[in-house]
Chain A
Amino acid sequence: MTENVPAVPEQGPEHGAEGELIAVRKGMFGARNGGDTSGYGGLVRRIELPGASQRPFGGYFDVIADELEGALEEQSLPPAEAISGYVVHRGQLTIHVPREHVVRVARTLRDDPALRFELCLGVTGIHFPEEAGRELHSVVPLLSITHNRRIRLETTAPDADPHIPSLYEVYPTVDWHERESYDMFGIIYDGHPGLTRILMPDDWLGHPQRKDYPLGGIPVEFKGAQIPAPDQRRAYS
């Protein structure tokens, strides 16, 4: 690698050819309307997350996939319908599940003796405003103490219809985590016993961790120069 070229994110061999496109960005340094003499103004970058992986996934991931698909078939739920893809990235497995099947899949993962994911480690909401139809992601990490394995369940919902079934009846621990995700992203978890705000005040407007919600802050004068608020500063990405 030469000294002057910015490091390019490398695609490992484990990734599928088709990534998950989350955004297309143009230009750089925040120069969006004219006056750009840097030469970076015409830059177009496709931002892609690792795409679906193909078998074999390696390690215990194939065992989990086989067992899960087998167990779903026993419940007469076609695996192709209940699981929309597997992503292996840096030795971690994410199972993408359509929202209508997430409770059934989670229950199978918890109860099947060969899977036994008895511990749920909360919910992470993520907002991809440019990923049309899949703007809101809800990721649930699971741990099997019995088999010492980890996976993640990922479910998406569009901004226009931000509903995802609650996992409360399968994992009661997601109670506060789903409230936090609702509070911060506006994801509505159907079936949650009391989906109210948890960190922000009850009468707060908006959902602060969405990407369209500004960070806020005021410019600060330091040694005679105006330093803009953190979200107004020049960015490289």
Chain B
Amino acid sequence: MTVIDETGETQEAQGSPGAQDGRVFTVAGGDWDDILADLAESPEERIVVNMGPQHPSTHGVLRVILEIDGETVTEARCGIGYLHTGIEKNTEYRSWVQGTTFVTRMDYLTPLFNETAYCLAVEKALGIEDQIPERANVIRVLMMELNRISSHLVCLATGGMEMGALTMMTAGFREREETLDLFEFITGLRMNHAYVRPGGVAQDLPPGAVDKIGSYVKLMRKRFPDYAKLCNENPVFRGRTEGVGYLDLAGCLALGLTGPVLRSAGLPHDLRKSEPYCGYETYDFEVCTWDTADSYGRYRIRLAEMYESLKIVEQCLDRIQRTQGQPVMVEDKKIAWPAQLALGSDGMGNSLDHIRHIMGDSMEALIHHFKLVTEGFHVPPGQIYAAVESPKGELGVHIVSDGGTRPYRVHFRDPSFTNLQATAAMCEGGQLADVIVAIASIDPVMGGVDR
């Protein structure tokens, strides 16, 4: 086996890990003609190319190790872990509420799904999942569906850019910016919101939110057709995506793939329908599928799901108006955060009314505030698995409590992590350029993969 190494000099690769035999060729500063001449001596030999972790087309810090024979990929392996931040371990040293601040940073394109999945697990462990107010659930659904749109937009934008369709990138990020503006208006932050909390959400929608979201939906309905016009029947786009990254239903289930990849194989599996949470059973929407099991199908599914999300957002707006003034946090004062926070210029800030109350009026309120904020609430011992349908697939949260005020163990089954395992199955035997398209169709986010 011939190995091209990025560092060091040309050397015999004896004893170095990953290259059991054969010569190592250095491509840094070398003369390609010399290397090609050397390679020509032994035409049977193959080349191992290291792509990433700092490569613009590998979706962040993903490293792909490819063995190529000409332009054909004969073996593909992923190297991950470059973005591991120990979030799961860190949550074990913080209270259950503080956990939302950590988990929101895992898959940074779907923060509201991370928060909601985590909070559903905590609420189930507390046994209060039936006490969540309707308005809190409506706001959660609203935020999650907006987040689904922004996540799919990034997938289409970066996926298009990596294929050379730069218009997809400029258009996708333009629309995503509109979505993030809404998040900033509602939660104070564009990402890493910590907006969904165990028991409800951190604060009610600010005045004017319904109008703003309404005009957003109108704008998106005008702009989304442009994506279809640009790509759906575009011969170059179809040529790059059709039949690329093929993985059939049996392959998806064996490798544990969920989300658009599974639905592109024709199985209409969506947790919002099969195991509804946050009241999804009361919304009218379709599960989008495709039958080609390739990158083109996954693109079409994401496009269609953005329309379905708009449909759900519109239904949420009606309910938001109907439930005006209702609580967005559970009634139980032992769990609910003592105050609704105020929206500041840099995220959520103190509520001056609440500070006046605890500092000036009531010592009991101060004690209660102090206990709940510094100590937190106890969660009965046991383990819970809760899952939501994130834009990438099943986002599962497995929590273990020892009865204390801190999680004993929090584990995220991130769909990006699981889906990325399909890289080898999708890429081997295909063209080198198709590796990029196949990985883009999985839509992995390294923050979620490495956690």
Contacts and interface: CB of A to CB of B under 8 A. Distances in A.
A122 B393 CA distance: 13
Interface in A66-102: 89-90, 92, 94
A172 B380 contact: no
B405 A237 contact: yes
B398 A120 contact: no
A49 B409 CA distance: 13
B91 to A, nearest CB: 10
B411 A7 contact: no
A68 to B, nearest CB: 19
Interface stretch (B137-145, B171-179, B251-259): B251-259
A17 interface: no
B424 to A, nearest CB: 10
Interface stretch (B79-87, B190-198, B323-331): B79-87
A235 B406 contact: yes
A233 B94 CA distance: 10
B411 A124 contact: yes
Nearest to B413: A122
A176 B417 contact: yes
A148 B346 CA distance: 43
A118 B251 CA distance: 11
Q: Which of B258, B267, B375, B385 has the most CB of A within 10 A?
A: B385
A128 B409 CA distance: 10
Nearest to A45: B403
Contacts of B387: 121
A209 to B, nearest CB: 5
Given A90-B382, A199-B81, A176 B418 contact: yes
Contacts of B379: 9
Interface of A is mostly: loop
Q: Which interface class (under 10, 10 to 19, 20 to 34, 35 or more) fits B?
A: 35 or more
A121 B413 contact: yes
Contact of A176 (B378, B402, B421): B421
Interface residues of A, number: 57
Nearest to B77: A194
A175 interface: yes
B382 A145 contact: no
B124 A90 contact: yes
Interface string B165-189: 0000000000000000000000000
B163 to A, nearest CB: 27
Contacts of A237: 378, 402-406
A201 B381 contact: no
B275 A148 contact: yes
Nearest to A20: B381
A111 to B, nearest CB: 13
Contacts of B269: 145
Given A90-B384, A94-B383, A236-B375, A7 B409 contact: no
A231 interface: yes
A22 B402 contact: yes
B34 interface: no
B273 to A, nearest CB: 10
B405 A236 contact: yes
B409 A124 contact: yes
A208 interface: yes
Nearest to B271: A143
Contacts of A198: 80-81
Interface in A25-47: 47
B398 A139 contact: yes
A122 B375 CA distance: 32
Given A139-B383, A148-B275, A198-B80, A230 B396 contact: no
Contacts of A89: 382-384
CB-CB nearest 6 A-B residue pairs: A237-B404, A173-B256, A9-B380, A199-B81, A124-B411, A89-B382
Interface of B: 80-81, 84, 86, 88-90, 92-94, 124-125, 127, 253-258, 267, 269, 274-275, 334, 364, 368, 375-385, 387, 394, 396, 398, 400, 402-406, 408-409, 411, 413, 417-418, 420-421, 450-451
20 contacts: A6-B378, A9-B378, A23-B402, A50-B381, A90-B124, A90-B382, A118-B253, A124-B411, A124-B413, A141-B385, A141-B413, A171-B256, A173-B256, A199-B80, A209-B89, A209-B409, A215-B90, A230-B94, A237-B404, A237-B405
Given A126-B383, A199-B451, A237-B406, 5 more contacts: A3-B368, A9-B403, A23-B402, A141-B396, A236-B405
